[in-house]
Amino acid sequence: MHGKTATLRDIADEVGLTTMTVSKALRNQPGVKASTRARIVAAAERLNYRGNLSASMLKSGRSGIVRIIVNEYNLPFYSQLIDALSAEVLRNGMTPFLQETRYSVQYAQEAMRNPMFDGSMFDGSIIQANGLSDSSLREIQANGPTVLLDSCLTAPTISTVNWPNEEGVRAAVQHLIDRGCSNIGIVTTSPYLTARELMADHDTNSAIRLRGARAALVNNNLPYDPAHVITIQGLAEPQARELAHRLADGHAAFDGYACMNDSAALGLIRGFADQGVRVPQDARVIGFDGIRTGEFSVPSLSTIAVDLDQLAQLAVAQILRQISDPDNNRYPTVTTVGYQLIERESTR
| Mean pLDDT within 271-293 | 95
Residue 59 has pLDDT above 60, yes or no: no
Residue 339 has pLDDT above 90, yes or no: yes
Q: Which residues pair with 162 in a beta bridge?
A: 336
Q: Report yes or no on 346 lying in a domain.
A: no
Please indicate, yes or no, whether residues 155 and 212 belong to a single structural domain of this protein: no
Residue 161 has pLDDT above 90, yes or no: yes
Please indicate, yes or no, whether residues 210 and 290 belong to a single structural domain of this protein: yes
pLDDT tens, residue by residue, 17-33: 998 888 877 776 667 88
Residue 329 pLDDT grade (very low, low, confident, very high; cuts 50, 70, 90): low
What pLDDT, on a 0 to 100 scale, did the predictor assign at position 282? 94
What pLDDT, on a 0 to 100 scale, did the predictor assign at position 160? 92
**In the 8-state DSSP scheme, what is residue 245?**
H
Cβ 346 vs Cβ 300: under 8 Å: yes
**In the 8-state DSSP scheme, what is residue 276?**
T
Which of 185, 293, 163 lies closest to 237, judged by CA? 293
Residue 7 has pLDDT above 50, yes or no: yes
How far apart (Å, rounded) are the C-alpha atoms in residues 30 and 165? Answer: 37
Residue 36 burial (C-beta neighbours within 10 Å; 0-12, 13-18, 19+): middle
Residue 303 burial (C-beta neighbours within 10 Å; 0-12, 13-18, 19+): buried
Farthest-apart Cα atoms in the chain, separation = 77
Q: Report yes or no on 343 lying in a domain.
A: no
- Residue 78, domain CATH: 3.40.50.2300
Please indicate, yes or no, whether residues 97 and 150 belong to a single structural domain of this protein: yes
Among the ranges given (91-100, 132-141, 215-224, 264-273), the one the predictor scored with the smallest mean pLDDT: 132-141
Among the ranges given (23-37, 140-154, 230-244, 286-300), the one the predictor scored with the smallest mean pLDDT: 23-37
HSE (side-chain half, CA atoms, 13 Å) at 139: 13
Please indicate, yes or no, whether residues 203 and 250 belong to a single structural domain of this protein: yes
Please indicate, yes or no, whether residues 182 and 276 belong to a single structural domain of this protein: yes
What pLDDT, on a 0 to 100 scale, did the predictor assign at position 58? 44
Cβ partners under 8 Å of residue 217, min gap 6:
173, 184, 223, 224, 228
What pLDDT, on a 0 to 100 scale, did the predictor assign at position 99? 85
Please indicate, yes or no, whether residues 108 and 174 belong to a single structural domain of this protein: no
Which of 202, 130, 127, 129 lies closest to 166, judged by CA? 202
HSE (side-chain half, CA atoms, 13 Å) at 177: 18
**Residue type at position 316:** V
Please indicate, yes or no, whether residues 119 and 174 belong to a single structural domain of this protein: no
Helix (H, G, I), strand (E, B) or coil at 249: helix
What pLDDT, on a 0 to 100 scale, did the predictor assign at position 131? 65
The model's pTM: 0.80
Helices (H), the chain: 8-15, 19-26, 34-46, 53-60, 76-91, 105-113, 134-142, 165-178, 195-199, 205-219, 237-249, 262-274, 308-324
Q: Report yes or no on 58 lying in a domain.
A: no
Residue 264 has pLDDT above 90, yes or no: yes
Q: Report yes or no on 29 lying in a domain.
A: yes
Q: Report yes or no on 44 lying in a domain.
A: yes
Helix (H, G, I), strand (E, B) or coil at 51: coil
Please indicate, yes or no, whether residues 209 and 262 belong to a single structural domain of this protein: yes
How far apart (Å, rounded) are the C-alpha atoms in residues 14 and 26? Answer: 14
First to last CA, the chain: 62
Q: Report yes or no on 347 lying in a domain.
A: no
What pLDDT, on a 0 to 100 scale, did the predictor assign at position 4? 66
Per 3-state DSSP, what percentage of the chain is helix, strand, and coil (rounded to 5)?
A: 50, 15, 35
Please indicate, yes or no, whether residues 244 and 282 belong to a single structural domain of this protein: yes
| Mean pLDDT within 29-44 | 79
pLDDT tens, residue by residue, 183-232: 999 999 888 888 888 877 667 888 999 999 999 999 999 999 999 999 98
How does strand 146-149 pair with strand 160-162?
A: parallel
Please indicate, yes or no, whether residues 182 and 94 belong to a single structural domain of this protein: no
Please indicate, yes or no, whether residues 260 and 159 belong to a single structural domain of this protein: no
- Residue 25, domain CATH: 1.10.260.40
Q: Report yes or no on 344 lying in a domain.
A: no
Q: Report yes or no on 192 lying in a domain.
A: yes
Residue 327's domain comprises: 65-163+308-338
Share of the chain above pLDDT 70, in %: 86
Residue 251 pLDDT grade (very low, low, confident, very high; cuts 50, 70, 90): low
Q: Which residues pair with 336 in a beta bridge?
A: 162
Domain tally for the chain? 3
Higher pLDDT, 136 or 128: 128
Please indicate, yes or no, whether residues 300 and 313 belong to a single structural domain of this protein: no
Which of 306, 299, 74, 272 lies closest to 185, judged by CA? 272
